[in-house]
Amino acid sequence: MEELWKISENSFNPKQINHYETVFSQGNGYLGTRGSFEEYFPNQQRATFVHGVYDDIPVVFTQLVNFPDWTDLEIILDGETFDLNTGEILGFHRELDLRNGLLTRSLRWCSPKGKISRLDFKRFTSMADVHIACLLVRVTPENYSGELICRSSLDGAVDSLHFKQWDWVDQGVEEDACWLKLRTHATNIEIGMAQKVSLPDNPNHKQEAWNIREKPSLSLTAALQAQESVQLEKYVTLYTSRDGEDPLNAAREGLSQISTRPWADLWRDHQSVWETLWERNDVIIEGDDKAQLSVRFNIYHLLIAAPRHDDQVNIGAKTLSGYGYHGHIFWDTEIFMLPFFTFTQPEIAKKLLSYRYYNLPGAREKSAKNGYLGAQFPWESAGDGREVTPTWVTNQHDRTSLTRIWTGDIEIHISSDIAYAIWLYWQATGDDAFMYDEGAEIILDTALFWSSRLVWHPKSSRYQISDVIGPDEYHEHVDNNAFTNYFVRWHLRKAAAVAQWLTQEHPQKANQLFKQLNLTQQTVTNWTSQANQIYCPIDLSTGLIEQFDGYFDKNDILASEFDPRTESIQSLLGNEGVNATQILKQPDIVMLMYLLPEEFNQEVKRANYDYYTPRTDLTYGSSLGHSIQTVMDTRFGNESQAYKNFMRTALMDIEDLRGNTRDGIHGASAGGLWQAVVFGFGGLHFNQDTWWIEPKLPSHWKRLSFKFVWHGELIEIDINPEEHPQ
Amino acid sequence: MEELWKISENSFNPKQINHYETVFSQGNGYLGTRGSFEEYFPNQQRATFVHGVYDDIPVVFTQLVNFPDWTDLEIILDGETFDLNTGEILGFHRELDLRNGLLTRSLRWCSPKGKISRLDFKRFTSMADVHIACLLVRVTPENYSGELICRSSLDGAVDSLHFKQWDWVDQGVEEDACWLKLRTHATNIEIGMAQKVSLPDNPNHKQEAWNIREKPSLSLTAALQAQESVQLEKYVTLYTSRDGEDPLNAAREGLSQISTRPWADLWRDHQSVWETLWERNDVIIEGDDKAQLSVRFNIYHLLIAAPRHDDQVNIGAKTLSGYGYHGHIFWDTEIFMLPFFTFTQPEIAKKLLSYRYYNLPGAREKSAKNGYLGAQFPWESAGDGREVTPTWVTNQHDRTSLTRIWTGDIEIHISSDIAYAIWLYWQATGDDAFMYDEGAEIILDTALFWSSRLVWHPKSSRYQISDVIGPDEYHEHVDNNAFTNYFVRWHLRKAAAVAQWLTQEHPQKANQLFKQLNLTQQTVTNWTSQANQIYCPIDLSTGLIEQFDGYFDKNDILASEFDPRTESIQSLLGNEGVNATQILKQPDIVMLMYLLPEEFNQEVKRANYDYYTPRTDLTYGSSLGHSIQTVMDTRFGNESQAYKNFMRTALMDIEDLRGNTRDGIHGASAGGLWQAVVFGFGGLHFNQDTWWIEPKLPSHWKRLSFKFVWHGELIEIDINPEEHPQ
């Protein structure tokens, strides 16, 4: 059913342009381009980002840089500029084909002077050659003949949320092409872009290249005959100095290799990569079209964001589809997005983990600066692995007051989240080579950080961790956050296991690594003993785990008591108000039990699930929460709640449930959705040795089918409840 | 002597481009343009600012917006772009003629391919019609013939210190002209600009208009014959929505009224205004060419910055010549720059004071927000009179730490500085109408603020003012800063006098104003009684006034003990270090005695001058300090020190003494220089009733001549020491 692959916009509402710009984003794992119109329209947030290309800005330190817009096109129809802000729209349809990332727009427009034209746009960013982007426009005058002018610029004066980050370096024009070289102002990353534009069916058209500084342009003029179509094709190439020494030359070379009429060829190559991708990654749901379409939509956004050719970049919290969080990278990658890649395309998961390996110097710098050993990963990172969490943000209501952001200082569980993702990857792939080359070093050096971060508390004879933030960010500066403490225990034990594995299997490497990290076998033994003495609270009579010291003394109130509402409980009560309650921003203990199921027995899990779930702000707290909650809901038999949380995740961006899709796709939500389907409804479980499934499909689903890779073997799961009743 | 009117640059040093951009700034009281080259050169800070056109930006709240550069010109000589970064410079001379603001550049350039050209540039911003800017280039090929291309854009994508503040609105091209309409992003100020470019002696040239979005351009192509000159003329018009409803139409209309060959006409009109200006404002110094030239240079910068047609704008600390202090307005205007205008062009002084009158709503808002009555003027203000002092600035050495800026909160003497400037203006002009219309309201409403700001101290039976910053900003959060306390006493007394004058002379107006400000005669009586009870410290035995409570307990160390040095004592000792000493950033008590001479007898002045002068960081403290110190040095007979401080002021920007001239002209220093010459060396004194002079010329000066206006009468002073020995 073709419509289960297409996201459509059937009429044009100017108020929704920023939402659809995000939804209709295109990309190829190298670049991402928002779904803005080709022509100018007020209040657009046109943007193209490239993984790893950051530049310095005030307050938030660094952000992804907006590239010159490859889609830019000005169309002048018999003297009138095509502009949806003028004239009349007689018909409008936009559509993103998730199967192949093709974005099309078809419309009929009546100009202010009454000239009616039909315009059909198509564009894609090549998955086969990630440095190529292609655009095609067919213009059909209905009730007039006249002159068509198409103008296409490489705009080097583009801004990134009002900040101009490019310095001009060089540019030039040729008869039918032009090119531009720019450099980021602070980080000195150079880029080269080249474009050509043609009207292949109109050999008599006039072509001019305008060499305006910072904005080289091509201008094509052709005759329009009523009822006859003219087709324009545009090809852009784009390289950066991260790809090689001479990005401008690469872009010009790349452009020259595109033949005269290349659309069909480029499209074929591109589409065939997409076919392969979906062959592996599609999840088939029957009996629930909305779920089917939205799951594909979220997988599409993971696929276009995933760096397939670069192991020194990562996926920001908002992918490459918007300015939200400035392209910074969080635990969203390891905990929410990575399982999808680990289980479907381990080669991409490995690249994402390698990003952390290359960022070890930054993590070591952070740890040392804080007075600890080993490596402490930043809560937010970008181009070079240093901590880039903004320290202060301005208060919207009082511009003279600033709010201190503490996550970069004390939301420290990320170092274990990364170790966990490596462990999961190792478990699912058996990729000893990665563990040997990179994984072990990360796990051991972060364990070293923890061993120095733990504080011995003589009174209670245990190790404690004070002053942290757990996943539930409604409570800051807490002591002994159970999520963190249990995770550190797990981490130190796994680090000891990795050290043992390395020593046994690769003694020479173990030797070298121990020397490099300044470790001894005694250190490792100490880790185990420290792990055994970390304070991991549990009430043996009830099975309840207190989220942090004093949590149970907080005002006990349920999230439902605030319903109905349209904002978070934090925004209703204020930061201090919500802090005084037991309300969570997102699952914390429940998340812990999801991630480390073997650490707890079923009764403990049930007790904590029952206690914490109604105290969690699932509707307007963190957007990360629903997906994991879905999995846990399925495991505890709450089918209707599971489905509700699942759909909140699935429709987050398509229906703009949080009102901020304009800032970019919720990458963690997209990754969490796959986990909700596969680990939740699909019931995929695994341990050290094997995997098994215990499906828990929503009752109206007729089929769920997905594929995953286990130790190199591709496994296809096809659940048909009528054949195998639950 | 013509050379005493010209600032020259005789060879090109790329490292000094930003310094000369400031020095060679041009303007006409409406706009200011930095002396950048017409063509692109790396690391230029091209900028054109217009008074009153601010837009919001992060951290510092608001800043002057950089306009599309009217000087922009790309010149292509037989296929090679003219670019001083390539080829070879065979000769170079730049010159700013202070008599008429003409900036010329003459150079010989050998292109990379060996083609030698001579280029002669001239440009000015019209003083006769402030909306017109004119540029002329003569190109002479020496050893080749070929094609000349000149390209001129209106660049709407220009940034302001990397921040893009313009939203595009509209643009268009005609055969030989193009135009652009933009709008500031947050403040919604619209601007219209139009340009035309011509080669009047080459009727056969080719002319093209390129309608590139955000950057409409004109491109002219002509034949170059060896040894024959081609002359290009460019005219730009510029209006904003502050000037009238349709700035674009005004700009296009303005352009259309410029005739085909207008240079001579426009130049004549422009020059005749300059003649009139210098006729009034010139200060003639004989026997000291360096002093002569630099005094004219500083007066030139005051004249081009002074708004002559707008009473709702003011002069920022760095005039319109750079990004320093973002165009914010400080006490620099009232205390340092205004006396020049008050005594030479009172009509301009009145406009500058009216700016404060129009900003009373912002001052009342600030006062009310702080819990006080009346009007409290902001320490820094910009477009709308609200406080815009940045509250926090980032630390250059640690990006996560912020420094709190307190001046906006507690450097409160500015409200009295403004009242003082009004009083001085009234004294010098006798302009009762201004006092009636605007001055009284400002003086009374700020007095009302003070009356509520004073705190009664029962133990010592006096009013005190705690937690302020005086002119000496090395000491923050001080109690009973004598400058502030004495000034408030003066202010309340003068307010009572103004109230009395108004009541006697204009009882109806007094009635209306009292009602409006919620004043009674009792309030005014109370002011006098409060004034008599303000703590104004003085040691009757020594005559010494303690700068603030506890100042004399600070570590007593002289500024000379740190010499030689190349940085401020604050930067040597750190903020806390310098705070622990008695070292001042600039005259504080001495400044008080300069401003309010009748409040102190000669012995007290002498004692405090002798005590505080050696404790003042005159070389690298505030740039405001030297000029006032010069006056006081002359009054206490320190001729050599006076001349040293005078030359520090005079050469501040020409010789870049503080290393920050790139950020703009030190406006307060320029204004202070006039005071140093006229009030210091010239010895002009005045009181309520009359003026008199007691010249104190440096011994090598042969003549000092200047003019000033006293109660509408133009007075010419010509001091010739040989005729009248001192």
- Note the CATH architecture for domain B2-278: Distorted Sandwich (2.70)
Q: Which of A152, A162, A184 to mutate to test the interface with B (most CBs of B within 10 A)?
A: A162
Length of chain B in residues, anyone? 726
Q: What pLDDT does A726 receive?
A: 47
pLDDT greater than 60 at residue A474: yes
Is the Cβ of B185 closer than 8 Å to some Cβ of chain A?
A: yes
Is the Cβ of B58 closer than 8 Å to some Cβ of chain A?
A: yes
A215 contacts B212? CB cut-off 8 A: yes
pLDDT tens track for A172-185: 999 889 999 999 99
pLDDT tens track for A447-460: 999 999 999 999 99
Cα torsion through A360, A366, A369, A374, rounded to 10: -50
Q: How many angstroms separate the CA atoms of B461 and B467, rounded? A: 19
Q: Which of B76, B212, B380 to mutate to test the interface with A (most CBs of A within 10 A)?
A: B212
Mean pLDDT of chain B: 96
A58 contacts B394? CB cut-off 8 A: yes
pLDDT greater than 80 at residue B442: yes
Q: In which order are the strands placed within the sheet that holds B31-33?
A: B26-27, B31-33, B48-50
Q: Which of B151, B215, B406 to mutate to test the interface with A (most CBs of A within 10 A)?
A: B215
- Closest residue in B to A390 (Cα) is B400
A394 contacts B402? CB cut-off 8 A: no
| Chain B environment of A408 (Cβ under 8 Å) | 400
Is the Cβ of A63 closer than 8 Å to some Cβ of chain B?
A: no
| Chain A environment of B401 (Cβ under 8 Å) | 391
SS (H, E, C) B10-60: CCCCHHHHHHHHHHCCEECCCEEECCCCCCCCCCCCCCEEECCCEEEECCC
Q: How many angstroms separate the CA atoms of A440 and A500, rounded? A: 11
Query: Hey, do A2-278 and A345-537 end up sharing a CATH topology, with the first three levels equal?
Result: no
- Cα–chain center distance at A696: 27
Chain B segment 250-279 residues within 8 A of A by beta carbon are none
Burial class (CB in 10 A: 0-12, 13-18, 19+), B148: buried
CA distance B112 to chain A (A): 16
* B473, B546, B639, B655: the active-site residue: B473
Which candidate from B168, B211, B392 shows the least CB-CB separation from A402? B392
Domain segments of chain B as ranges: 2-278
Buried b (16+ CB within 10 A) or exposed e, B471-488: bbbbbbebebbbbbbbbb
pLDDT tens track for B578-588: 999 999 999 99
End-to-end CA distance of chain A, in Å?
A: 27
Q: What's the whole-model pTM score?
A: 0.94
Q: How confident is the model at residue B58 (pLDDT cuts 50, 70, 90)?
A: confident
- Cα–chain center distance at A394: 25
Mean pLDDT of chain A: 96
| Chain B environment of A168 (Cβ under 8 Å) | 40
Q: How confident is the model at residue B726 (pLDDT cuts 50, 70, 90)?
A: very low
* CB A106 within 8 Å of CB A119: yes
* CB A517 within 8 Å of CB A447: no
Return left, alpha or beta for B46; rule: phi > 0 is left, psi -120 to 50 is alpha, else beta.
Answer: beta
Q: How many angstroms separate the CA atoms of A504 and B279, rounded? A: 95
pLDDT greater than 80 at residue A258: yes
Q: What pLDDT does B688 receive?
A: 84
Q: Report the pLDDT averaged over residues A677-700.
A: 95
Listed in order, strand segments (DSSP E) in A261-331 are 284-286
B391 contacts A401? CB cut-off 8 A: yes
What number of other Cβ atoms are within 10 A of residue B529's Cβ?
11
CA distance A326 to chain B (A): 16
Q: Looking at per-residue confidence, does A484 or A1 come out higher? A: A484
Nearest to B132 by CA among B37, B220, B30: B30
What single-letter amino acid sits at B588?
Answer: D
Q: How confident is the model at residue A401 (pLDDT cuts 50, 70, 90)?
A: confident
Q: What pLDDT does B261 receive?
A: 66
| Chain A environment of B61 (Cβ under 8 Å) | 399
Helix (H, G, I), strand (E, B) or coil at A656: coil
Tell whether the torsion through CA atoms of A660, A665, A667 and A668 is positive or negative: positive
- Closest residue in B to A208 (Cα) is B210
Structure tokens at B545: 């006034």
B177 beta partners: B196
pLDDT tens track for B256-270: 999 766 899 999 999
Which candidate from A58, A151, A210 shows the least CB-CB separation from B58? A58
Lowest mean pLDDT among A81-90, A341-350, B203-212, B603-612: B203-212
Q: How many angstroms separate the CA atoms of B22 and A428, rounded? A: 64
Q: What pLDDT does B674 receive?
A: 98
Alpha helices, DSSP H, located in A17-153: 17-23
CA distance B319 to chain A (A): 25
**ipTM value for the complex:** 0.90
A163 contacts B162? CB cut-off 8 A: yes
CA distance A191 to chain B (A): 17
pLDDT over 90 for what percent of chain B? 94
- List CB contacts of B577: < 8 A, sequence separation 6 or more: none
A40 contacts B168? CB cut-off 8 A: yes
Structure tokens at B50: 């217009």
* CB B580 within 8 Å of CB B554: yes
Nearest to A375 by CA among A359, A364, A386, A387: A364
Residue A604 vs residues A131, A541, B274: alpha-carbon distances, Å: 52, 10, 88
Q: Report the pLDDT averaged over residues A3-15.
A: 95
* CB B698 within 8 Å of CB B288: yes
Look-up of token digits 């280039």: B137
Nearest to B679 by CA among B418, B416, B336: B336
Burial class (CB in 10 A: 0-12, 13-18, 19+), A169: middle
Q: Report the pLDDT averaged over residues A606-611.
A: 98
- Note the CATH architecture for domain A345-537: Alpha/alpha barrel (1.50)
Q: For residue A264, what is the enclosing H or E element?
A: helix A263-281
A157 contacts B213? CB cut-off 8 A: no
Q: How many angstroms separate the CA atoms of A419 and A494, rounded? A: 9
Q: What pLDDT does B724 receive?
A: 57
Q: How many angstroms separate the CA atoms of B329 and B416, rounded? A: 15
Upper half-sphere CA count for residue B419 (Cβ side, 13 Å)? 33
Alpha helices, DSSP H, located in A600-719: 602-612, 625-635, 639-651, 667-675
A163 contacts B163? CB cut-off 8 A: yes
Is the Cβ of B155 closer than 8 Å to some Cβ of chain A?
A: yes
A212 contacts B151? CB cut-off 8 A: yes
Q: Report the pLDDT averaged over residues A390-411.
A: 87
A214 contacts B215? CB cut-off 8 A: yes
pLDDT tens track for B269-303: 999 999 999 999 999 999 999 999 999 999 999 99
Chain B segment 95-154 residues within 8 A of A by beta carbon are 151, 153
* DSSP assignments along B180-249, one per residue: EEEEETTT--EEEEEEEEE-TT-TT-EEEEEEETTEEEEEEEEEE-TT--EEEEEEEEEEETTT-S-HHH
- List CB contacts of B595: < 8 A, sequence separation 6 or more: B335, B420, B487
Q: Report the pLDDT averaged over residues A93-97.
A: 98
Is the Cβ of A45 closer than 8 Å to some Cβ of chain B?
A: no
Q: How many angstroms separate the CA atoms of B672 and B645, rounded? A: 11
| Active centre residues of A (catalytic) | 473
CA distance B165 to chain A (A): 7
Q: How many angstroms separate the CA atoms of B263 and B233, rounded? A: 8
Chain A segment 393-422 residues within 8 A of B by beta carbon are 394, 399-402, 408
Residue B246 vs residues A721, B75, B128: alpha-carbon distances, Å: 70, 33, 21
